[in-house]
């Protein structure tokens, strides 16, 4: 009788703990490893023939009885002669250059530090653990990442440059020693207040952040 009671009470508690895990992660605001992996993974590269006009492909024969309104003699002068193709220079002018690609990056506002310090807060551990898991699994094939430290406008440039570099180093130190990420894959840089997330308010809290950039696949 007692064993049945224990089983009956224990099972709902276990189910409640499992169900509350995603809610706990949502409350901390920490992005999941899957979210981090998706954000930091480069977009697939197009092949040499993708997105470009294909040459040498035959086109259907034009109907000689059909005259588009925009090319009729009454609307815009004589219609172009049949079989005439645009010059290579004209055709090339309609080919758009491939768009410039930017390195994938992700800002982490949930990685926080003690005031005026490089000491990570306990609340940052959830994000750091998920970042380490993403680097070791979802992004294991990616070679190198840059960890950027950013500050707000309070203080001198030299002070903020040193503080932001120290904070970036603290993140790398955690990823290497606590998450097992290879140090060869991680570089750090301190950008101080040179690249604020909120340029209109350089003292805003969102300017104090850590940014991870995928610098090479």
Domain made up of 103-217: CATH architecture: 2-Layer Sandwich (3.30)
* pLDDT above 70 as % of the chain: 61
pLDDT at 195 over 70: yes
Of the candidates 109, 110, 183, 178, the one whose C-alpha atom is nearest the C-alpha of residue 145 is: 183
Q: HEC states along 61-110?
A: CCCCCCCCHHHCHHHHCCCCCCCCCCCHHHHHHCCCCCCCCCCCEEEECC
**pLDDT tens-digit series, residues 67-104:** 444 444 444 455 555 555 655 554 444 445 445 568 99
CA 189 to chain centre: 18
Residue 48 has pLDDT above 70, yes or no: no
Average pLDDT, the chain: 78
Residue 96 zone, left/alpha/beta (φ > 0; ψ -120 to 50; rest)? beta
Higher-pLDDT residue of 125, 4: 125
Rounded Cα gap, residues 107 and 36, in angstroms: 10
- Predicted local distance difference test score (pLDDT) of residue 82: 55
Model's pTM, two decimal places? 0.66
* Residue 60 pLDDT greater than 60, yes or no: no
Question: Quick one: tokens of 52?
Answer: 């470009």
Higher pLDDT, 164 or 98: 164
128-147 pLDDT, tens digit per residue, is 999 999 999 999 999 999 99
């Amino acid at each position: 009788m007692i064993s049945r009671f224990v089983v009956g009470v224990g099972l709902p508690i276990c189910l409640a703990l499992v169900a509350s895990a995603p809610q706990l992660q949502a409350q901390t605001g920490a992005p999941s490893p899957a979210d981090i992996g998706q954000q930091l993974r480069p977009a697939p590269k197009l092949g040499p023939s993708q997105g470009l006009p294909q040459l040498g492909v035959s086109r259907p024969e034009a109907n000689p009885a059909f005259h588009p309104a925009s090319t009729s003699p009454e609307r815009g002068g004589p219609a172009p002669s049949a079989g005439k193709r645009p010059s290579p220079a004209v055709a090339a002018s309609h080919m758009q250059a491939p768009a410039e690609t930017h390195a994938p990056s992700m800002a982490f506002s949930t990685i926080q530090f003690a005031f005026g310090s490089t000491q990570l807060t306990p609340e940052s551990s959830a994000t750091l653990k998920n970042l380490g898991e993403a680097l070791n699994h979802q992004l294991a094939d990616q070679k190198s990442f840059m960890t950027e430290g950013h500050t707000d406008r309070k203080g001198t440039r030299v002070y903020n440059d040193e503080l932001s570099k120290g904070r970036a180093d603290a993140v790398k130190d955690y990823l290497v020693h606590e998450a097992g990420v290879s140090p060869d894959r991680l570089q750090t840089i301190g950008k101080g207040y040179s690249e604020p997330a909120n340029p209109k308010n350089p003292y805003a809290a969102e300017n104090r952040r850590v940014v991870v950039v995928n610098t090479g696949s």
